[in-house]
Amino acid sequence: MADTNTSSNPPAVTSEALPVASTRLAALQANIGRLSLQKQVGLLLAIAASVALVVGIFMWSWAPTYQVMYGAVTGKEKGEIVAALQKANIEYRLAENTGAIMVPASKVHEVRLQLAMEGLPRSADTGFELLEQNPGFGASEFLEKARYQRALEGELARTIGALNNVRNARVHLALPKQSVFIRNRRAPSASVVLDLYAGRTLDPGQVAAITHLVASSIPNLESSGVTLVDQRGNLLTRQDRSQSLGMTEGQFEHTRRLEEKYISRIQHILAPMIGSNKVRAQVVAEVDFTVTEQTQEYYNPGSAALRSEQMSEEERTGSRLPQGIPGALSNQPPADAQAPETVPEANGDEAQIEPVPTTRSQRATRNYELDRTISHSRLSPGSIRRLSVAVLVDEKAVTDAEGAVSTLPRSPQELAQVTALVKEAVGFNAERGDTINVINAPFVPANEEEAFPELSLWQQDWFWQAVKQGGGILAILLLLLGVLRPAFRRLTALPEPVALSAIPNKDEEESDDGLQEDQLSLSSNKPTLQLSGPHSLEANLEIVREMATGDSRRVAQVVKNWLVSDV
C-alpha cells in the first residue's frame, strides 16, 4: 500500500503557484476560517474585551469632575430638582453616601441659575408666597394662622440670610394666643439659628442689629425675648448683660478709636521726615465719661436800672400829748380845775409860750431791674483728661565711600524737632498733665515674610485631570499598538504561494546510487520540510503526515492540483 502510493508517478509539473487571498479582508477570512471553533470564539472574545477596555479607558479619562450642587434638601425638593435636570438634559449624579445632587463642576453656577429661575429649591423661597397658594376647601382658622406664621418665619429668614456673613438662617416664632379675657398675657418670643460662612463671625453690633430686626417685626416682642444661636451651638445673645457693661464697651471702643487717631497723626507727620518704617508711636488717652449737668444764676449789680419809685411825706401838728416813760408816774389824772382860769404872768417883757408838738414822716419805695443770667449746661462725656505719648525713632542710616551702610544716632536738634511736631499733632496741654517721650534707638531688622510657597505641579487642580487624560490616551495606544495591531497583522497576513517542486520520473530518478533526492516544499512560516531519497521512505511519510496535520488545506489544494493535472 505504501509502495503503491509512493510509486505512483504524478505528472511532472513545473513550479505552480497555489491560489491565495488577494486582499487583506480575504486573508483575514481565510486565516480565521483555518482556526478551530474554540480558537475563533476566543479570538472574538479577546477583540470584544479589547474594544470594551479602550472605550472604558477613554470614558474614564475624559469623564468630568462632579461637584455637589445642593446637599441639605428634602426628598420632595430633590425629586423636583432631578426632574428639572432631566428636562434640561443636564447630567447629574447622586452621592452614594449623602444622596446629594452632583453636577459637572464647570456647570455648577449655570445650573443653579437655571434652577433659581424655576424657583428651585423651594425651601430657600418660602415666605408670603405660601399665602398665595390655594389653601383648599374647608381650611380651618388654625391652619390659616399656622400658614401665616410659617410665611412670617420664612420672610425673616430670607431677610437675615441677605447679610454678608450669614449663609442661611432659620427662624422659629412662639406667638401665644391673645385674648381680652386673659389678664396676664404671655409675651411672644423668637429663636434664630444662623449658618455662618466658614471663618466668619458676627460682632456684637451685628448681633444686636439682628435681634432688634426680629423684635421690630413681631408685635409686642421685646429684644430680650430674641435668642440667636450659630451653627456650632454657640449662644450669641447674652441676656445677663447689664446696661453699665454695655456702656463700658462703648467707652472702650471710643477710647480705642481716639488713640488710633492720634497714632495716625503722629506717623503721618513724621513719615516724610524720617520714613514710614522708621517710626513707631503709641498713645494712651484717659477719657472722662462723667455726665455733668449744672444750673447757674448770675446777678450784675453794676447794671441796675430804676424801674419805679414811690415817695410819701406826712406831717402832723396837734395838742400836747402825753410824754414820758409809760407807767404809773406818767399816767396820772389831770389836776383839779380852777375857775376862773388864770394865766400866769410872764417874767419880763415877753411871755414864755410852750411850743406845740409836731410829727413829720417820709417814705420812699424804689424798684430796680437787675441783670440776671440763668444758665443750664450739660457737659457731654468723652473729654480728655490726660495724654501719654511714646514715640520711638530709628537711627539715621549712613552709607560710607565703600558702600557699606551703618546707623548713627540722631542729633538732639532732630529729636527736639520731632518732639515739637508730636506736641502739635496731639494737641499737647501741660496743664492737664500730658507727657511726651521721644526715644532714638536702632530698629531690629524685621524678618522678611516668606512668600507662600507655590503649589507643586502635582498639587495643581488641572494636573491630575491632565494625568488622568494622558494616562488614558497612553493606555489606549499601548493596547492598540502592542496588542491589537500585532494580532490583526498576523490575521491579515497574505500567505506565500505554495509551490510543488517538479518531481522527476522514475526512470530519471533511478541511478547507480538509487533515486535522486525528491523535494516537496510548502511555503509557510515554518522551516521548509524536504523529502529525502527512497532510502528514507518512512521518514518521508512522517514528514508528509506532519504537513497534512499542520496545514491540511494546503495539502488538499496540492492533491486537488494533481487531480486537475491528471485530467
- Are 177 and 271 contained in the same domain? no
Per-residue pLDDT of the chain (567 residues; tens, 9 = 90+): 333 343 344 443 333 433 444 466 777 777 777 777 887 788 788 888 888 888 887 777 777 777 777 766 667 778 888 888 888 888 888 877 777 888 887 788 888 888 878 777 765 546 665 666 666 666 777 778 888 888 888 889 888 988 888 888 889 999 888 777 667 778 899 999 998 888 888 888 889 899 999 999 998 899 889 999 998 889 888 755 555 555 577 788 889 999 999 999 999 999 998 888 889 999 999 998 888 888 888 777 777 777 888 888 887 776 555 555 666 665 666 666 666 655 555 555 554 555 666 777 888 888 877 778 888 888 778 889 999 999 999 988 888 888 788 888 999 999 999 999 999 999 999 999 999 999 999 888 777 666 667 767 776 667 777 777 787 788 878 877 877 777 777 776 665 554 444 444 444 444 444 434 444 444 444 444 444 444 456 666 777 777 777 777 777 777 777 776 655
**Listed residues 393, 421, 442: the one ending a domain:** 442
- Are 229 and 138 contained in the same domain? yes
User: For residue 452, is it within any domain?
Assistant: no
Residue owning grid cell 467707652: 251
**Has this prediction a pTM greater than 0.75?**
no
- Are 279 and 141 contained in the same domain? no
**Listed residues 239, 264, 289: the one ending a domain:** 239
User: For residue 406, is it within any domain?
Assistant: yes
- Are 46 and 134 contained in the same domain? no
Range of the domain at 193: 126-239
User: For residue 483, is it within any domain?
Assistant: no
User: For residue 221, is it within any domain?
Assistant: yes
- Are 428 and 378 contained in the same domain? yes
User: For residue 190, is it within any domain?
Assistant: yes
- Are 33 and 134 contained in the same domain? no
DSSP labels, 375-444? EEEEEPS-EEEEEEEEEEEPPEEEE-TTS-EEEEPPPHHHHHHHHHHHHHHHT--TTTT-EEEEEE-PPP
- Are 183 and 279 contained in the same domain? no
- Are 154 and 209 contained in the same domain? yes
- Are 186 and 288 contained in the same domain? no
Residue 108 belongs to a domain with what CATH number?
A: 3.30.70
- Are 89 and 151 contained in the same domain? no
Instruction: Compute the distance between CA of residue 506 and CA of residue 515 in angstroms, rounded to an integer.
Output: 8
User: For residue 566, is it within any domain?
Assistant: no
Contacts of 566 (CB under 8 A, 6+ apart): 10, 11
- Are 258 and 282 contained in the same domain? yes
User: For residue 349, is it within any domain?
Assistant: no
Task: Output b/e per residue, 205-216; b: 16+ Cβ within 10 A.
Answer: ebbbebbebbbe
Instruction: Compute the distance between CA of residue 394 and CA of residue 443 in angstroms, rounded to an integer.
Output: 6
User: For residue 544, is it within any domain?
Assistant: no
Structural domains counted in the chain: 4
- Are 157 and 86 contained in the same domain? no
